Chain A
Amino acid sequence: MLAKRIIPCLDVKDGMTVKGVNFLNLRSAGDPVELGRRYSEEGADELVYLDITASYEGRKTFVDIVRRVAQAINIPFTVGGGIGSVYDVDTLLGNGADKVSVNSAALKRPGLIDEIARHFGNQVCVVAIDARFTDGKWVCYLKGGRERTDRTLQEWAHEAQERGAGEILFTSMDHDGTRNGYACDALADLHDRLQIPVIASGGCGCAAHIADAFKLGKADAALAAGIFHFGDTDIPSLKQYLRTQGLPVRL
Chain B
Amino acid sequence: MDAAIIKYNAGNVFSVECALRRIGAEAIVTDDPEVITRAPRVIFPGVGEASSAMAHLREHHLDSVIKSLQCPVLGICIGMQLLCKHSQEGDTDCIGIFDLPVLRFDNSDTPELKIPQMGWNTISVTPGSFVPAECDKRFAYFVHSYYVPLNMHTSAVTDYIIPYSAALQKDNFYATQFHPEKSGDTGETILKKFMEL
Residue from the list A5, A40, A76, A96 in contact with B18, Cβ < 8 A: A96
Find out whether the CB atom of A45 lies under 8 angstroms from the CB atom of B118: no
CB contacts (< 8 Å) of A95 on chain B: these are 14
Find out whether the CB atom of B47 lies under 8 angstroms from the CB atom of A70: no
Task: Tell me the B93-121 residues at the A interface (CB within 8 Å).
Answer: 111-121
CB contacts (< 8 Å) of B181 on chain A: these are 74
Residue from the list B22, B114, B120, B183 in contact with A3, Cβ < 8 A: B120
Among listed A106-114, A120-128, A177-185, A209-217, interface-contacting one: A120-128
Residue B141 lies at the interface, judged by CB distance under 8 Å to chain A: yes
Q: Which residues of A contact B (CB under 8 A)?
A: 1-3, 5, 40, 45, 70-71, 74-76, 93-96, 98, 120-124, 166-167, 194-197, 218, 220-221, 250
Residue B136 lies at the interface, judged by CB distance under 8 Å to chain A: no
Find out whether the CB atom of B115 lies under 8 angstroms from the CB atom of A123: no
Residue B15 lies at the interface, judged by CB distance under 8 Å to chain A: yes
CB contacts (< 8 Å) of A5 on chain B: these are 119-120
Of the candidates A76, A96, A122, the one having the most CB atoms from chain B within 10 angstroms of its own CB is: A76
**Cα(A180)–Cα(B47), bound, Å:** 38
Using C-beta atoms within 8 Å of the partner chain, give the interface range for chain B. 35 or more
**Cα(A70)–Cα(B16), bound, Å:** 10
Of the candidates B48, B111, B181, B184, the one having the most CB atoms from chain A within 10 angstroms of its own CB is: B184
Does more than half of chain B's interface fall in helix, strand or loop, or is it mixed? mixed
CB contacts (< 8 Å) of A197 on chain B: these are 114, 118-119
Q: Which residues of B contact A (CB under 8 A)?
A: 12, 14-15, 18-19, 21-22, 47-49, 111-122, 139, 141, 143, 159-160, 179, 181-185, 187-188
CB contacts (< 8 Å) of B22 on chain A: these are 71, 74
Whether A74 touches B121, Cβ cut-off 8 Å, given contacts A2-B160, A98-B182, A123-B47, is no
Residue from the list B12, B49, B184, B187 in contact with A96, Cβ < 8 A: B12
Find out whether the CB atom of B120 lies under 8 angstroms from the CB atom of A196: no
Find out whether the CB atom of B182 lies under 8 angstroms from the CB atom of A71: no
Find out whether the CB atom of B120 lies under 8 angstroms from the CB atom of A250: yes
CB contacts (< 8 Å) of A71 on chain B: these are 18, 21-22
Find out whether the CB atom of A74 lies under 8 angstroms from the CB atom of B120: no
CB contacts (< 8 Å) of A76 on chain B: these are 141, 179, 182
Of the candidates A1, A167, A250, the one having the most CB atoms from chain B within 10 angstroms of its own CB is: A250
Q: Which residue of A lies closest to B122 (CB)?
A: A1
Whether A70 touches B15, Cβ cut-off 8 Å, given contacts A76-B182, A121-B48, is yes
Smallest CB separation, B183 vs chain A (Å):
7
**Cα(A10)–Cα(B118), bound, Å:** 21
Find out whether the CB atom of A195 lies under 8 angstroms from the CB atom of B114: yes
